[in-house]
Structure 1
């Protein structure tokens, strides 16, 4: 592989990894707040892609308004799922929440399949035109660069929100100790709902971006990216926002280079990484072992 090909694959890998990072953030934020692996999160990613498709196709909205509506619709869905499915079980065991999350995931997938069918759909061709961008001898697809730019912008905005706003401080306090946060006057229920809303909005944005990039939209589109994004969250250190970003980028780059070498085994890379990281460092690359008193 020449240097030019290496740089081209690197750009594609970072672009794909940034999408994984957006989805992984939803997993890691929810886990950091209430200790739940929200397996319905990958289907919110799918719903965001559908919302963007319908407003772009039938309302003929351009890319940015369609993306914002997809994020808003996904955020509202995330809040509804949290309030209806998870909040009543918050004081029960984690296994009850996990089973409920799987049930919500199946409900969304099969519900959308029943309503819209399983045939793939494509976004309007003019929503983001395919263009080739040249950086000297390096050639890249404009869509990859747009996805990378939007993903990085959303990640920066999230970091600013979490670290420099009152709600962000409330989210960090709730993740450390919900009961202590409540005693300090923090509305824990509102904070948890906001966490679901933000994570779901990011997943909805990722769903629309990927559906445009690969020209494919169906009720089961979220399964594989959702699982890989969960691997990215574990790789970086689930519960840590920087970990989700690092894990997503690493996974995207490794998968892209493996696909260039042998496309048949590229899909298995994420699961090999998951097994290796759980054996070598279960807390993830940025995670630290926490001792609990018993």
Structure 2
């Protein structure tokens, strides 16, 4: 029983990282109907910016987290303006192929600049003590990851529902042409969406580095794909769905590992994707909407 609770705690920590990345996928899809496959690589860039902030500039965890979020926000806007904006009225497949191209460009550009060797986050960045609840030892890092993730998710909900840019994002998501007629700057709204989503991916990168220690230039591929699965699981385009999907996927992976099938933990995400597409294509929080072809 104790081991099961321990695995659930691990699953929730991992799931909250997936949820932070999945929010970026779901926000961008909700507004421009684009699956931004370069999003996992923004997460990787965030992990490296956090790493260099800590090791080269000797900053603490929270300053490194904020720098990584700010840098990734700018990086996300640059990707959108350079690669995606010219294709806004192109076919979906053209935008999708471009997203894959941008992803590969970031991965191998990073390898070209700094080499392919992995790096390790220093231990004890945040000196947190483990706590024991009902005989289960929960690490301070797990609690910090959960606290940071929950705070950022609440902040995102506040931005989307209570601020001017959030209202503009919801209007553009609902009807881009009507939003334009109402005086909303659609280009700036889309850029803001990319900035917020990329900042969350940057935060996830730093948190992931602190939790798993090892980072390398191709680290964004699997978490990026799993976060995409999480977004589809919850209902792509729906923010609470991305959060729930990420947490649920993390818990499923942890339980698969606990059952002794740790080699299957990466594969189980894609089994979940296939099942959700067969039995509930709109996701757990989505509504089935007929699409005219």
TM-score normalised by structure 2 residue count: 0.97
Q: Does 1:288 align with 2:287?
A: yes
Alignment of 1:1-294 (within 5 A): 2=1, 4-129=2-127, 131-261=129-259, 262-292=261-291
Q: Give 3-state SS (helix, strand or coil) of 1:290's partner.
A: coil
How far, CA to CA, are the matches of 1:99 and 1:39 in structure 2?
9
How far, CA to CA, are the matches of 2:218 and 2:242 in structure 1?
23
How many residues were matched structurally? 292
Q: Give 3-state SS (helix, strand or coil) of 1:28's partner.
A: helix
Deviations 1:25-47 (A, max 9, x none): 00000000000000000000000
Larger mean CA deviation between 188-197 and 256-265 belongs to 256-265
Q: Give 3-state SS (helix, strand or coil) of 1:139's partner.
A: strand
Q: Give 3-state SS (helix, strand or coil) of 1:213's partner.
A: helix
Residue 130 of structure 1 and its aligned partner are, at CA, apart by: 6.4
Residue 290 of structure 1 and its aligned partner are, at CA, apart by: 1.3
Runs of 4 or more above 6 Å deviation: none
How far, CA to CA, are the matches of 1:6 and 1:260 in structure 2?
7
Larger mean CA deviation between 70-79 and 208-217 belongs to 208-217
How far, CA to CA, are the matches of 1:227 and 1:278 in structure 2?
15
How far, CA to CA, are the matches of 1:173 and 1:278 in structure 2?
28
CA 1:292–1:226: 2 relative to 1, 3 Å: closer
TM-score normalised by structure 1 residue count: 0.97
Residue 129 of structure 1 and its aligned partner are, at CA, apart by: 3.7
How far, CA to CA, are the matches of 1:94 and 1:192 in structure 2?
17
How far, CA to CA, are the matches of 2:36 and 2:231 in structure 1?
12
Query: Is the Cα–Cα contact under 8 Å of residues 122 and 213 in structure 2 kept in the other structure?
Result: no
Q: Give 3-state SS (helix, strand or coil) of 2:215's partner.
A: coil
How far, CA to CA, are the matches of 1:136 and 1:35 in structure 2?
46
Which consecutive unaligned segments of at least 5 residues does structure 2 have?
A: none
Which consecutive unaligned segments of at least 5 residues does structure 1 have?
A: none
Query: Is the Cα–Cα contact under 8 Å of residues 40 and 223 in structure 2 kept in the other structure?
Result: yes
CA 1:292–1:136: 2 relative to 1, 3 Å: closer
Residue 123 of structure 1 and its aligned partner are, at CA, apart by: 1.7
Q: Give 3-state SS (helix, strand or coil) of 1:268's partner.
A: helix
Q: Give 3-state SS (helix, strand or coil) of 1:118's partner.
A: coil
The two structures, once aligned, show a CA RMSD in angstroms of: 1.1
Larger mean CA deviation between 129-138 and 8-17 belongs to 129-138
How far, CA to CA, are the matches of 1:17 and 1:293 in structure 2?
34
How far, CA to CA, are the matches of 2:256 and 2:292 in structure 1?
43
